[in-house]
Amino acid sequence: MKKKFTALIVDDERLSRKDLVSLLSDFPNIKIVGEADDVSTAVKAVEQLNPDVIFLDIQMPGESGFDLLPKIKTSAKVIFVTAFDEFAIRAFEVNALDYLLKPINPERLAQTVNRLNQPEEPESIEFRQLNYDDRLFLLIDDGMKFLKIKSIIYIQSAGDYTEIFTSDGISGLTLKSMKEWDNRLPNQFFCRIHRSTIINLEYVDRLEEWFNYSYKVFLKGIKKPFVISRRYVAKLKRTLG
């Protein structure tokens, strides 16, 4: 016997909510207990209804679906409903059970509902390998931005967090640690040259010997060179070939 789940639908478009309600009526194990058309209403609904599942639209006027998640304390499984294409969906650095593309395909919805009954095997975001052509949708300073991995020139440690500098003019503080970047960035393109610095090898202009067997590395478009600590010199030379 399938477990029953209570569900909350969060979408600013009334017709989209109506369509999803209609589609979910084919699944007797899903009971819709509420709807919300914006983030503030959704916060109250989650507190009052404590749903098992949240069907969450991403693009809404004002605050987005991503803005809701930090505002709620819940163990509910999140299913994003979005008009973004699949390439963009890979960029969302948020743990979710699934993503449904609008307009929702009934067969695809059935697959998602079936996943509710399966034991979760979450993939840790911290160790999910990135490709050079990937994009991330992440918080930089005080705003969510799409970041092209190949646009990163260098990353520097900032306490428990990191500062990122890109060729696209996107720079600022991110909540990701050096450890996470080190684990996830493709190592054929990125190299750690110091405990506090990771560089993109595609932007290396030249190396210059310095003192005590260390080197300076000059990056394209960056005036100030970086010092490579002795322990990382050999690794950088091997990577550069």
Question: Hey, what amino acid is at 48?
Answer: Q
Same domain, 227 and 162: yes
Q: What is the pLDDT of residues 54-107, one digit of tens each?
A: 999 988 988 888 889 888 988 899 999 988 765 566 666 666 788 899 999 999
Contact between 194 and 182 (Cβ < 8 Å)? no
Has residue 43 got a pLDDT over 80?
A: yes
Same domain, 146 and 216: yes
Count H helices and E strands in the chain, helices first: 7, 15
Hey, which residues does 195 pair with through a beta bridge? Answer: none
pLDDT interval class at 214 (50, 70, 90): confident
Same domain, 161 and 226: yes
Question: How high does pLDDT run on average in the chain?
Answer: 88
Copy the structure tokens of residue 185: 């960035």
Which H or E run contains 11? none
pLDDT interval class at 18 (50, 70, 90): very high
Percentage of the chain lying above the pLDDT 70 cut: 90
Nearest to 125 by CA among 56, 177, 70, 64: 177
* Structural domain includes residue 88: yes
3-state DSSP assignment of residue 169: coil
Instruction: Please state, as a whole number, how many other Cβ atoms lie within 10 Å of the Cβ of residue 34.
Output: 18
Nearest to 131 by CA among 90, 185, 200, 86: 185
Same domain, 148 and 209: yes
Whole-angstrom distance, CA of residue 232 vs CA of residue 44: 51
Whole-angstrom distance, CA of residue 5 vs CA of residue 96: 16
pLDDT at 164: 97
CATH value at residue 235: 2.40.50.40
Among the candidates 83, 115, 147, a domain finishes at 115
Same domain, 87 and 180: no
pLDDT at 90: 62
3-state DSSP assignment of residue 180: helix
Whole-angstrom distance, CA of residue 88 vs CA of residue 91: 5
Q: What is the pLDDT of residues 92-109, one digit of tens each?
A: 666 678 889 999 999 999
Percentage of the chain lying above the pLDDT 90 cut: 56
What residues make up the domain containing 100?
A: 5-115
Same domain, 27 and 109: yes
pLDDT interval class at 126 (50, 70, 90): low
Among the candidates 115, 148, 181, a domain finishes at 115
Hey, which residues does 143 pair with through a beta bridge? Answer: 140
As a whole number, mean pLDDT of residues 51-55 equals: 97
Q: Rounded to two decimals, what is the model's pTM? A: 0.62
Whole-angstrom distance, CA of residue 65 vs CA of residue 46: 13
Among the candidates 80, 115, 150, a domain finishes at 115
Number of domains in the chain: 2
* Structural domain includes residue 126: no
Same domain, 141 and 55: no
Same domain, 140 and 106: no
Same domain, 82 and 180: no
pLDDT at 34: 98
* Structural domain includes residue 125: no
Same domain, 89 and 191: no
Cα separations in angstroms, 16 against 21, 23, 97, 174, 182: 9, 11, 20, 34, 41
* Structural domain includes residue 215: yes
pLDDT interval class at 30 (50, 70, 90): very high
pLDDT at 87: 55
As a whole number, mean pLDDT of residues 169-195 equals: 92
